[in-house]
Amino acid sequence: MKINKICCIGAGYVGGPTMAVIADKNPDIKVTVVDLNHQRIEDWNDEDLTKLPVFEPGLDEVVGRARGKNLFFSTEVEQAIDEAEMIFISVNTPTKTYGKGKDMAADLKYVELCARQIARVATNDKIVVEKSTLPVRTAEAIKTILYNTGNDVNFQILSNPEFLAEGTAITDLENADRVLIGGEQTKKGQEAINALVNIYAAWLPKDRILTTNVWSSELSKLTANAFLAQRVSSINAISELCEATGANVNEVSKAIGMDSRIGPKFLQASVGFGGSCFQKDILNLVYISKSLGLDSVADYWEQVIIMNDHQKNRFAEKIVSTLFNTVSGKKIAFLGWAFKKDTNDTRESAAIYVADKLIDEQANISVYDPKVKKKQMYSDLDYLKTRSSEKNHEHLKVANDPYEVCKGAHAVAILTEWDEFLELDWEKIYQSMNKPAFVFDGRMLLNAKTMKDIGYKYYVIGSE
Ligand code: UDX
Ligand code: UDX
C-alpha cells in the first residue's frame, strides 16, 4: 500500500519536527500538520523561520526546504483528515489534574476527541498512527471508538512512539537508533505496518525499523523513558552521597560509564530531570501497575520520581541554608528556565520548582533564559497554584540580559546548561554582585577552580 497523503493532528514539539522530517525525506508524499490552535499554525507558517513556535537546532532548515512544497500547516482539520490515507495523532497527553487517577494517570481526552473526529469525517479506509505517548492498551480504546461511531470505514491502528529528545530532535529523527512500529498481527495489520515502514525506510536502514505487536510498542515507550529517568535519579542519589563524603560525582560517572555494560550516557548529575515525558510516563507506569494490583512494581518506579523531587528540593534548600538560613528579600539570579539547553520548552523544568520553593522563603528571583518567553515563566509558576499570580509577579522578574539579572544579586543559580553561560564575563558579574557572592551550579557547567579564583563561593551538585 502506497501512502500519498499524510495528516498529523497536533503541531507541537513532536508533531511539527517529526512531520517536517518525514516530508523532507519523502518528497512524493503530501504532509499536512493541523492544530486547533490558530496562533500555533500561523507561527509555523511564518515567513521568518526564526519565529517557528518550536525552537530546535536545524528545524528551520528542514521546514524551509519542505514547507509549501509537500509540507503544509493548517487549521482545516477535517479536510486534512478526509484526504489522508494515514493520520498521525500527536496531541498532548498531560497528567490528569482531576478525578480518578488525578496527578498520575494520563489525560486521554484530546486523543479521544481526535479519534471521534476521525470517525466522523472519514469516508475511506485509514491507517491511524498513535504518536502521542499513551498508556498500554490505548490503541484498543481508539479502535473501539473508530469502529462504533465510524461510517463503515476500515481502520488500522498503529503505535509509533517517538524517541526524539528536544534540543536534538532533528538529528534524533534523521539518524534514529531505532523506529518502533506496533500493529495488529493480521494480514491487514501487516499491510499497515509495511506502509509506515516504507515511509521511514526512505532514509533509515531497514534493520533499524522494528515491528512488534501494539502493546509491546506502547509499553516500550514508557519503559525507555523510565529507564533513562532512572539513570538520572540513580546518579543524582549518588551526587548527594558524594557531597557528604568528598567523592566527586563526575569522577564516579566517568568511572562507571566506562564499564561497557553500563555505558556513559545519562549519567550527568543535575538539579533534577524535567521535560514533558519522564515524569508523566513514569506516573503512567505507576498508575497502570497499581490498577493491575502490582503494588511492588508501582512502588519501585515511583521511587525514581521521589528521588527527582528530592533533588530539586535539596538544591533550593542548599541555597537557603548557605545564604545564612534566609533568602527573604534577597535577590537570587536564575540563569536558565528551560528544562535543558537548546529548547524553549519548560514543561516540568526544575527551575520552576526551585523558584517556587525560594519564593516561599520570600526571595526575589530574577531570571534570564535565552529562549524562554517571560509570559511562559509566569504561566509555569501560576500553574502550581502555590500563591496568587500577583505575588508571583512581585517575586519573580525577568530580563533579557544576564548581566542585568545578576547585578546586585546575593547568589546566582544555574538551572539550565546553556552553552552561552560559559562565555559570560564571570569577573564582571562578580564585581556587580553582593558579597560574599555565591554561585549554585545545578548543571556542573562551570569550572570550579576558575570560579573560586575569581572570589566566588561556588557550590556545585555532586562534590564538596
Ligand atoms: C507530544 C506527545 O504527543 C505526547 O504524548 C508526548 O508524551 C510528548 O510529546 P508535544 O508535541 O510535546 O506532545 O505536545 P504539544 O507541544 O503540547 O503539542 C500538542 C499540540 O496538539 C498542541 O499544539 C495542541 O494545540 C494540539 N491539539 C491538542 C490539537 O490540535 N487538538 C487537540 O484536540 C488537542
Ligand atoms: C526524553 C527522551 O530522551 C526521549 O527519547 C523521549 O522521546 C522524550 O523524553 P526529552 O525529555 O526531550 O527526551 O529530553 P532528555 O534529553 O531525555 O532530558 C530529560 C531531562 O533529563 C532533562 O531535564 C535533562 O536535563 C535531564 N538529564 C538528562 C540529566 O539531568 N542528566 C542526564 O545525564 C541526562
Q: What are φ and ψ of residue 254, in 5° steps?
A: -65, -45
Provide the total of helices (H) and of strands (E) in the chain, helices listed first. 18, 14
340 close to 167: Cβ distance less than 8 angstroms: yes
- Rounded to the nearest angstrom, the distance between the alpha carbon of 277 and the centre of ligand 2 is 8
d(CA 460, CA 464): 8
- Rounded to the nearest angstrom, the distance between the alpha carbon of 273 and the centre of ligand 2 is 7
CB 274 less than 6 A from any atom of ligand 1: no
CB 339 less than 6 A from any atom of ligand 2: yes
Reported confidence tier of residue 150, pLDDT bands at 50, 70, 90:
low
- Rounded to the nearest angstrom, the distance between the alpha carbon of 91 and the centre of ligand 1 is 3
pLDDT digits (tens, 9 = 90+) for 234-275: 999 999 999 999 999 999 999 999 999 999 999 999 999 999
Average pLDDT, the chain: 96
pTM of the model: 0.94
192 close to 154: Cβ distance less than 8 angstroms: no
For residue 138, the model assigns a pLDDT of 87
CB 101 less than 6 A from any atom of ligand 1: no
d(CA 74, CA 37): 10
Closest ligand relative to 75 C-alpha: 1
Task: Give the residue among 365, 356, 354 at the shortest CA–CA distance from 314.
Answer: 354
**Lookup result for grid cell 521535560:** 275
d(CA 141, CA 154): 16
- Reply yes or no on whether the pLDDT at 460 is more than 90: yes
Q: Is the dihedral of CA 63, 35, 146, 143 positive or negative?
A: positive
Closest ligand relative to 304 C-alpha: 2
For residue 160, the model assigns a pLDDT of 97
Closest atom of ligand 1 to CA, residue 37: 25
Closest atom of ligand 1 to CA, residue 134: 5
- Reply yes or no on whether the pLDDT at 151 is more than 80: no
List residues with catalytic annotation. Answer: 162, 221, 277
The more confidently predicted of residues 95 and 263 is 263
CB 11 less than 6 A from any atom of ligand 1: yes
Reported confidence tier of residue 14, pLDDT bands at 50, 70, 90:
very high
Closest atom of ligand 1 to CA, residue 166: 12
